[in-house]
Amino acid sequence: MERIRFLVGFFVLMVLIAACQNKAVDFDPEFEKLCKDRTPDNWMNMRPMEDGKFTSDVSCWGCMSDNGMSHFCDKEEYKRYL
């Protein structure tokens, strides 16, 4: 019985860990290069932000604005900012 309880607990733990993993791991290498060429330290994984306010609870790889008030997850949006 203990073994079954352990296996069920282990399975539940694995499901929870998998569900909590950040899904926003894909990013555009071209976008990363564009960002790093301008400001090497501004490429990061964080929640999107506009004018100092987070616009989503889901983090993404993207580029922080020079003033630190916006984080762009979309290359085209970042290009418009430039």
- What are the angstrom distances between the C-alpha of 23 and each of 6, 27, 53, 74? 28, 11, 22, 16
The pLDDT assigned to 19 comes to: 56
**H-run or E-run covering 10:** helix 2-20
Of the two residues 26 and 73, the one the predictor is more confident about is: 73
pLDDT digits (tens, 9 = 90+) for 3-51: 777 666 666 556 656 555 544 456 688 989 989 988 877 898 888 998 9
Q: What pLDDT, on a 0 to 100 scale, did the predictor assign at position 24?
A: 46
Vertex 75: Cα angle to 72 and 78 (nearest 5): 50
